[in-house]
Amino acid sequence: MKLVACINHVPDTATKVAIAADGRSIERTGVTFTVNPYDEFAIEECLRLKEKLGGEVIAVSLGGDTHRETLRKALAMGADKAVLLKDESPRDSFAVACALTQYLKEASPDAVFFGKQSVDSDDAAVGPMVAEMLGLPSVTVVVKLDINGTTVTAQREIEGGRETVETKLPAVFTAQKGLNEPRYPSLRGIMAAKNKPIEERVPAAVSPKVEILSMRKPPTKNPGKIVGTDVSAVPELVRLLHEEAKVI
Amino acid sequence: MKILVVAEQREGKLKKHAFEALRTARTVAEQAGGQVVALVIGTRVQDVAATLGGYGAQRILTVEDPRLQQYSTTAYTRIIADIAKAEQASVVILAASALGKDCAPRIAVRLDAGLAVDCIALKVDGGDIIATRPVYAGKALTEIRVTSPVKVITLRPNVFPAGSSSGTTVQPEPVSIILSDSDFGTVVKETTQTAGKLDVAEADIIVSGGRGLRGPENFKMIEELASALGAAVGASRAVVDAGWRPHEEQVGQTGKTVSPSLYVAVAISGAIQHLAGMSSSKYIVAINKDKDAPIFEVADYGIVADAFEIVPVLTQEVRKLLGK
């Protein structure tokens, strides 16, 4: 099986976000970047499928040289090769999907995995967009996956429950937390990764369809009140919620 | 401007966010000058679709087929895109529900449209729509403009008001779309609902527990408080990773982002990633015995005391107030 994991290099979730001077993006100095947490489930699922069914795992990322760090992590986990689509121009989900589709059309994989969303833009769109562009079925927010030949049974998370979805390969999946437990790269894996190839390609330029006009911090709240420090505060809290906040 | 609103139904009932989407579309159409057309997809949805007239739909379209009893990514994509084209809609609005987030990106590609996801505000500017949406798990807000002629927009549930129905019903127009097997590239075989549980993503009140509760058995008092409030139960990442609560309940950057009217954080310290998931709640109550816990920085009301002493009494007081 040819398995591709599309992964992103994003600010660590512990980052305290500051707005950059351009007023449209975040300040990057002092920010630690890492593999998008949801993409680790994507890489892991590819590795498990390769272990079970044989084949090859390719990790792909769109970005600058800094993305090599994240591709090396995928290689260290066990991916066979990596591809860097080298482009740092601002892209919306559509433009990112175009670049990945350009590569995937040529690579022609059996299954493509994404994390369910990238924790920077939180669009959760690139995976299904790529699927549509490739004319393939997609299942998003996958928490369980079973592949039998070309038949796929997947469970995805919906409000208050789960849907069991059936489809056929080739297909695109976006991974949700809980799909698997991503392995830690072993020391041997880290060493081996240094010799695995990272192929570099330049994707075609694409005009985005969404323009960011401005970025700002969310409004700071007025300081709240400490109602009390023991059970005697409870009736007052309930009164405030009922009469002041009017939420109960 | 013609706005096509996809009004989601599950098991024959329209979701609350369907009304929110319709009301929002109508407001935008009135400001920009335009018409709102609602679309309901499923089986035997004529009667329920007609009620959308009370929330601002000027025309209502239905697509019915026995195979649409359950959701299908590919079938919905085809139906919505075909109708958007036939209607020459310049804007397609869906709720950013599990279903909306699943098919909106595909619909956008099919319509060669830009996509604005999980918006929390819309503003009409000239003939254009400017959307506000959270990024970095809500640590920042962006104002964006979709520059393509056709725009697909998903709205965060429980943020836009649905208002109440004016009582107007509009006669739905059934649309005949011949669906073939190839339109059902993905098919939902079954849906399992976690019985009786209200999902954090849909709840108007959430009671969340954190690691300060010391063990899974102590979540019983959280469930009781939630039950008294008619609330969903949420959890911090720590207790989900410890296996005390299922992942579906996790609130935070790698869990769910929620914006209920009331969020009660019990024995949760308030790590950055957790705050990212709930800080846009309308009102936040924190109960924690550590006065320096970061959660108090975002709380509207706080009690600095042991949760084990406070929560049972709070449940009692809530029951008294609500006459339970």
Query: What part of A 92-131 touches B (C-beta under 8 Å)?
Result: 92-94, 97, 119-129, 131
**Checking phi first, is residue A130 left (phi over 0); if not, alpha (psi -120 to 50) or beta?**
alpha
Q: Answer yes or no: do B178 and B272 share one domain.
A: no
Q: Choose, out of B139, B156, B291, the residue to mutate when testing the contact with A (most A CBs < 10 Å).
A: B139
Query: What part of B 3-62 touches A (C-beta under 8 Å)?
Result: none
State the DSSP code for B130.
E
Residue A246: CB atoms within 10 Å: 10
Question: Beta strand pairing status for A161-168 and A151-158?
Answer: antiparallel
Task: Give pLDDT, residue B195.
Answer: 61
Amino acid at B108: A
Amino acid at A73: K
| Partners of residue B116 on adjacent β-strands | B153
Q: Answer yes or no: do B26 and B168 share one domain.
A: yes
Task: Give pLDDT, residue B151.
Answer: 97
Q: Answer yes or no: do B106 and B137 share one domain.
A: yes
Q: Answer yes or no: do B37 and B172 share one domain.
A: yes
Of A201, A189, A175, A195, nearest to A73 by C-alpha is A189
Q: Closest CB to B141: pick one of A178, A218, A225.
A: A218
Place of tokens 């949700």: A176
Q: How many helices (H) and strands (E) does chain A have?
A: 6, 13
Domain interval for residue B244: 205-322
Instruction: Look up the CATH number of the domain holding residue B72.
Output: 3.40.50.620
Task: Give pLDDT, residue A188.
Answer: 96
Mean predicted confidence (pLDDT) in B227-250: 94
Amino acid at B45: V
User: Does the beta carbon of A181 lie under 8 angstroms from any beta carbon of chain B?
Assistant: no
Peptide bond preceding A170 in cis form (omega within 30 of 0): yes
State the DSSP code for B213.
G
Q: Answer yes or no: do B211 and B159 share one domain.
A: no
Task: Give pLDDT, residue B323.
Answer: 87
Task: Give pLDDT, residue B229.
Answer: 96
Q: Degrees (nearest 5) of the Cα angle B173, B175, B178?
A: 165
| Order of all β-strands in the sheet with A2-6 | A198-201, A81-86, A56-63, A2-6, A111-115, A171-175, A138-148, A151-158, A161-168, B187-193
Task: Give pLDDT, residue A157.
Answer: 93
Residue at B190 is within a domain: no
Place of tokens 């369910």: A116
Q: Answer yes or no: do B24 and B114 share one domain.
A: yes
Give pLDDT tens digits for B158-183. 889 999 999 999 999 999 999 999 99
Instruction: Look up the CATH number of the domain holding residue B212.
Output: 3.40.50.1220
Task: Give pLDDT, residue B194.
Answer: 75
Task: Give pLDDT, residue B199.
Answer: 86
Percent of chain A with pLDDT over 90: 94
Q: Which residues of chain A have pLDDT under 50?
A: none
Helix (H) or strand (E) holding A235, with range, is helix A234-239
Spatial distance between the Cα atoms of B184 and B182, rounded to a whole number of angstroms? 5
Task: Give pLDDT, residue A219.
Answer: 85
Count A/B contacts: CB-CB distance under 8 Å. 267
The correct CATH number of A2-201 out of 3.30.1120.10, 3.40.50.2000, 3.40.30.10, 3.40.50.620 is 3.40.50.620
Task: Give pLDDT, residue B196.
Answer: 64
Q: Answer yes or no: do B176 and B121 share one domain.
A: yes
- Domain chopping of chain A, boundaries: 2-201
Of B182, B4, B14, nearest to B82 by C-alpha is B4
The SS3 assignment for A57 reads strand
Give pLDDT tens digits for B194-234. 766 788 888 899 999 999 999 999 999 999 999 999 999 99
The SS3 assignment for B168 reads coil
CB B293 within 8 A of CB B270: yes
Q: How many domains does chain B have?
A: 2
CB B161 within 8 A of CB A237: no
**C-alpha dihedral (B40, B45, B50, B51), degrees to nearest 10:** -90
Residue at B146 is within a domain: yes
State the DSSP code for B251.
B
Contact between A208 and B117 using a beta-carbon 8 Å cutoff: no
Residue at B192 is within a domain: no
Residue at B164 is within a domain: yes
Predicted structure pTM score: 0.92
Spatial distance between the Cα atoms of B74 and B188, rounded to a whole number of angstroms? 11
Q: Choose, out of A10, A132, A236, the residue to mutate when testing the contact with B (most B CBs < 10 Å).
A: A132
Q: Answer yes or no: do B219 and B179 share one domain.
A: no
